Amino acid sequence: MYFVNKITILLVGITLIAKIETIGADKYDEESNIDLKYNKNEKRLKRSENAVDNMTTTEVTPLENVTEECIGQKEFCNLSREEYVTMLNEYIYPHTYEWVLIGTHTLVFITGLVGNALVCVAVYRNHSMRTVTNYFIVNLAVADFMVILFCLPATVLWDVTETWFLGDVLCKMLLYFQSVSVTVSVLTLTFISVDRWYAICFPLKFKSTTGRAKTAILVIWTLALTFNAPELVVLTTEKSVPLRFELEYLVQCIATWSSNSDLVWHIIKVIFIYTLPLLLMTVAYYQIVKVLWRSEKIPGQAETIKLAPAEQTQLRSRRKAAKMLVAVVVMFAVCYFPVHLLSVLRYTLDMEQSDVITCLALISHVMCYANSAINPLIYNFMSGKFRREFRRAFCCSTASDLETFTTLTRITTSKKRPCDLMTFDTKAQGRNVCNTTFIHNSYKDRYILT
């Protein structure tokens, strides 16, 4: 009996020791697994789904505006308000690659503001440039200027800090206006392509006037404001992560409707604000290129054996204008393709957030804003008139260049015929030296960009 008692005591002791070791191992594993997952040298706050789902309450010293929720792991619940704010400040502070992003956006910001302002100034100062196409180009420049001025800084701040600091009203207004400006750009490019298609392919059936251009611009803005109106209703600010204190960190500007509704809205925008307009512009410019390059005659004029020098100049001007407009459309298609593609894939493939996706999203944002800044550069390289006006704006032209340009501008904008402004000796010449064909063509095709 004594022996049996000893055996029983021994077994109980072994069981207790094993239990204690198990508890110690579990405690060690738990302590080892407690990881802040917040690295001051990394941008991303690594919160696993389990950590979010298992947010716990902890007894802490009473502080102002304390909530019962803690961000991430349990250690964050033990931080004071000052330590908590310091941690969040370190989290949102830009890192190396983000400084590159900020520098790129700054370059786009300066180039876009100066370039688009110069486009408007060029058309305003030179009356001969107030043509149908240039009115549309100015409308495009105004939309680009405003989106760069008002939307680009807010977007950069949002992308870098992952926080919308500007409140609910600006959340609605700035993102709504950004969508409106993109819609205005697309519709403006579409109207330009249709206008040029009619003017070049059907010169005798269509009369393009600046009055019609102004009406079209009014229609463009009305359509853009109406089409994007739902965003004014659904956009609002919301905290992406529950914080212990009432802080303005990690607030997002998001749409409040369901994921399915958001997907439908993005698909509608991709179809009507990107795909269909691009298809229409592609068809229009294909027809324009085919007409301008298929023969050495100006559309709408009688067949001639050989073009006069003035007619050759006119044809070259039309071709240069077509090339410039095609370049603008191609740049728009390239710059906006990534952001539309990511918007659709994000919902259809249910892509998880990763460093690669984040990087691609940031690059797509840069490309969208870069498109607003690159158009003036295209005008400068491909349009002689814009180039001369840009030089005048920077006072780079010589006195003789300015005098010659001013004289030509005065002649082309006068109500009188150019011949009436010239002096020549008809007796010595024996005829009127002014080419009447040149006069007819130049006034008939004032929309030409040279």
> Given a cut of 60, is residue 40 above it in pLDDT?
no
Banded pLDDT at 218 (limits 50, 70, 90): very high
pLDDT value of residue 185: 93
Cα separation, 125 vs 121, whole angstroms: 6
Cα separation, 321 vs 299, whole angstroms: 15
pLDDT value of residue 75: 56
Q: What are the φ and ψ backbone dihedral angles of 418, each rounded to 5 degrees?
A: -55, -35
Cα separation, 27 vs 182, whole angstroms: 57
Q: Give the three-state DSSP class for 450.
A: coil
Taken in order 213, 215, 217, 223, the sign of the CA dihedral is negative
* Top-confidence range, 25-39, 51-65, 168-182: 168-182
Give the Cβ contact number of residue 215 at 10 Å.
11
CATH class held by domain 101-235+258-393: mainly alpha
> Given a cut of 90, is residue 208 above it in pLDDT?
no
- Of 59-73, 143-157, 301-315, 343-357, the range with the lowest mean pLDDT is 59-73
Amino acid in the structure at residue 379? Y
| Of 139, 311, 390, the residue nearest 147 (C-alpha) | 139
CB distance 175 to 231 below 8 Å: yes
- For CATH 1.20.1070.10, list the domain ranges present in the chain: 101-235+258-393
Average pLDDT, the chain: 73
Amino acid in the structure at residue 158? W
Decide which of 24 and 190 is more confident: 190
* Top-confidence range, 90-104, 385-399, 420-434: 90-104
Cα separation, 336 vs 323, whole angstroms: 20
Cα separation, 376 vs 119, whole angstroms: 7
pLDDT value of residue 222: 97
